[in-house]
Structure 1
Amino acid sequence: MDTGDIKRTEQERDAYLSSVLASNNWIIEGVHHKWVSPCFQQAEVILFLDTDITKRRFRIIKRFIMQKLGVEKANYQPTLKILKDLYNYNTVFEHKSKPEIVEMLGPYHDKVIVIKSQDELTSLFK
């Protein structure tokens, strides 16, 4: 059930995450890797999307242009500040968050699949 973009307290978030993990089937997106890490142990498979930083930069700029032109829907007003923030976040992800995630996934290497391209993703689901 999609409840939209809701900012929860840490206690609400952790309780909600526990209820999701108690269900039979779940998929969790891990951009917030520090608080979703308890899921790694229970996961059957962990997919790590590891696209090249330049490809992500291109996609950020392309999405911004598409949203400004009204071709792609945005849940926010696409501004140059947001573009800059996303661009900076991408750099921080590459140099800080990504190494943290790789380290966190170390103990689960037997169930981690690293996907670096659209072709790899497509072949995984054939």
Structure 2
Amino acid sequence: MRKIFIIGIVASGKTTMARQLSEQLNIPWHELDNVVHHQTVEGRIKRTPEEQQAVIADIDRSGGWIFEGVDRSSYRCLYEMADTIIVLDPPLWKRKYRIFARYIKQQLGIEKCSYKSDWNMLRNMYRWTRDFEQSREEFDSRLRPYHSKIVRIKDSRGFLRREGGTIHHDYF
């Protein structure tokens, strides 16, 4: 059974990698943003940390999974639960570019999102990126106990490659 936690800051490539691994390995993937914010007919509602952990536990009981998200205290339990932790860490300039490119695509209707794409969200994404860089040492120290499970990827181009209709992984 495979349990993979893909973690990284905004625009590090988590969703893209999760989607590709899910397809190739035939394992369901889950966006942790959707665990935190539950979609209802009234709109998006933020779950409590306890509710988030209950959702994660339910998914874990069902077998293999791929979770992808940022480092949030309410789902740090995934560090222990995962067989493999993939840390996506592309260069800062690339993440900043991707944030802006994503915003433009959302404004043009080319890319969908589950949140309100506006100037405020754009500013938040840059602020979260800055805050992550300032607390990177803390993040790395939280990961140290799990070093034997960690695969750190600075550039995913060499990690996932497509040949014909198949995605090949250098690690999996």
Q: TM-score, with normalisation over the residues of structure 2?
A: 0.62
SS at match of 2:120: helix
Q: Percent identity?
A: 31
SS at match of 1:16: helix
Matched, 1:118 2:156: yes
- Give the gaps of 5 or more residues in structure 2: 1-27, 39-45, 162-167
Residues paired across the two proteins, number? 124
Q: Does 1 or 2 have the higher relative contact order (CA < 8 Å, sep 6+)?
A: 1
Confirm or deny: 8 A CA contact 1:21 1:39 kept in the other structure: no
- Give the gaps of 5 or more residues in structure 1: none
Aligned Cα root-mean-square deviation (Å): 2.3
Distance 2:72 2:86 in 1: 13
Confirm or deny: 8 A CA contact 1:68 1:78 kept in the other structure: yes
Q: Choose 19-28 or 54-63, whichever is displaced more.
A: 19-28
* CA deviation vs aligned residue, 1:62-87 (integer Å, no higher than 9, x gap): 11112222222233443222211111
Aligned residue among 147, 167, 171 for 1:109? 147
Residue in 1 that maps onto 2:107: 68
Q: Which amino acid aligns with 2:67?
A: I
Q: CA deviation at 1:37?
A: 1.8
Q: TM-score, with normalisation over the residues of structure 1?
A: 0.81
Q: CA deviation at 1:115?
A: 0.6
Which protein has the bigger strand share?
2
